[in-house]
């Protein structure tokens, strides 16, 4: 049976499109799925549709999704008969079904404050040049309890509640070193400015969202809301924390950083500094360097000419720039 045979379409022909399409892609998140869906349905902003996608889960997720079959906000349900093997295949499927002018990819293991959409939609309405708006996140454990001391936003005291970025400034500040727009659930974006999901993203496990936001920033700017309206859940089945510790995130992210540097047309000194930082970080992952040496050296040379053979010099450049910031690029 094909995927389309299991699709359930609750859209009414001729009906006006909603303001927001909420895509909930799920795979084996049974313990968290109902809380996620209910947190979307509890939004105080009401002009949205919900698109529920399941990637052939082996737990009871499909039964949970089916229980929302007749909810008036649920416009589409797609239950895959075979696993797609890719989170970003699900994103691509959801974007193809979305009808709203804005899209929220609400990851199935996270949940949201009821004011999430009510806060972000007016900001995008007010600024047609903005491709996205995003909030901060409360870091919670598997049971939804706050994780003491874990804060990925690190708001400066006295910083304004909202800040507007051009696409270039967003890329420089949030998307060059790594993806500081770190969770899809914290973002609402303009569908007309969303980039196509690339084939390379279908094979990515950790950094496909980083590439997605970097590509989107080429189409428009962003508005940041310094309020924690997203709940980003950390649990044992999550792949990113283990990938960061093992260096796998680093390997997958290095070619993304190289692409972002090309997007920004950085001067040679800035590229050399980035290469030095990369060499410095590689010192934490000797096994990764040994296993992926050819790939890493190729990306380093793409980032800065002869970077593969100038390790010590480039690290020294990076260390000096941390204190002097002569490249004006330190995060």
**What are the tokens at 179?**
């993806």
Residue 5: predicted pLDDT: 38
Task: Locate the domains of the chain by residue range.
Answer: 3-241, 266-324
Torsion of Cα atoms, 30 then 32 then 35 then 36, to 10°: -100
User: CA 261, CA 234: separation in Å to the nearest integer?
Assistant: 30
Q: 140 in helix, strand or coil?
A: strand
Q: How many CA atoms lie within 13 A of 205 on its CB side?
A: 13
Distance of CA 107 to the CA centre of its chain: 10
User: CA 117, CA 188: separation in Å to the nearest integer?
Assistant: 8
Distances (CA, A) of 160 to 36, 136, 143, 149, 197: 29, 13, 32, 23, 33
**Nearest partner of 12 among 66, 68, 70, 75, judged by Cα:** 75
Residue 11: predicted pLDDT: 66
pTM: 0.93
User: CA 76, CA 100: separation in Å to the nearest integer?
Assistant: 13
Q: 103 in helix, strand or coil?
A: strand
The fold adopted by the segment(s) 3-241 is Spore Coat Polysaccharide Biosynthesis Protein SpsA; Chain A (3.90.550)
Model confidence pLDDT, tens digit, residues 183-225: 999 999 999 999 999 999 999 999 999 999 999 999 999 999 9
Residue 325: predicted pLDDT: 87
Residue 136: predicted pLDDT: 98
Q: Residue 96: which H helix or E strand, with range?
A: helix 87-97
37, 51 contact by CB (below 8 A):
no
Q: Collect the ranges in the chain with pLDDT lower than 70.
A: 1-14, 239-243, 330-331
């Amino acid at each position: 049976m094909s995927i389309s045979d299991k699709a359930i379409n609750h859209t009414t022909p001729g009906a006006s499109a909603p303001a927001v399409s909420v895509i909930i892609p799920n795979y084996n998140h049974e313990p968290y799925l109902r809380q996620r869906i209910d947190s979307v349905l509890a939004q105080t902003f009401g002009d949205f549709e919900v698109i529920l996608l399941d990637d052939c889960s082996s737990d009871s997720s499909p039964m949970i999704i089916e229980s929302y079959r007749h909810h008036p906000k649920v416009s589409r349900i797609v239950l895959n008969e075979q696993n797609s093997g890719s989170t970003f295949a699900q994103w691509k499927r959801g974007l193809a079904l979305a009808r709203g002018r804005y899209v929220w990819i609400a990851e199935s293991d996270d949940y949201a404050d009821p004011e999430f959409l009510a806060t972000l939609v007016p900001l995008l309405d007010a600024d047609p040049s903005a491709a996205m708006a995003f909030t901060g996140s409360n870091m919670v454990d598997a049971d939804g309890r706050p994780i003491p001391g874990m804060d990925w936003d690190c708001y400066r005291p006295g910083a304004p509640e909202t800040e507007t970025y051009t696409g270039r400034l967003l890329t420089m500040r949030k998307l060059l070193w790594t993806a500081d727009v770190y969770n899809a659930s914290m973002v609402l974006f303009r569908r007309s400015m969303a980039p196509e999901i690339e084939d390379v993203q279908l094979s990515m496990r950790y950094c496909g969202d980083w590439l997605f936001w970097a590509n989107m920033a080429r189409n428009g700017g962003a508005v940041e809301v310094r309020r924690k309206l997203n709940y980003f859940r950390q649990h044992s089945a999550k792949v990113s924390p283990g990938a960061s510790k093992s260096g796998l995130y680093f390997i997958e992210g290095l070619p993304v950083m190289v692409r972002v540097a090309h997007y920004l047309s950085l001067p040679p000194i800035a590229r050399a500094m980035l290469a030095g930082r990369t060499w410095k970080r590689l010192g934490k992952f000797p096994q990764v360097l040994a296993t992926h040496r050819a790939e890493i050296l190729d990306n380093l040379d793409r980032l800065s000419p002869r970077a593969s053979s100038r390790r010590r010099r480039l690290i020294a450049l990076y260390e000096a720039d941390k204190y002097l910031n002569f490249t004006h690029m330190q995060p």
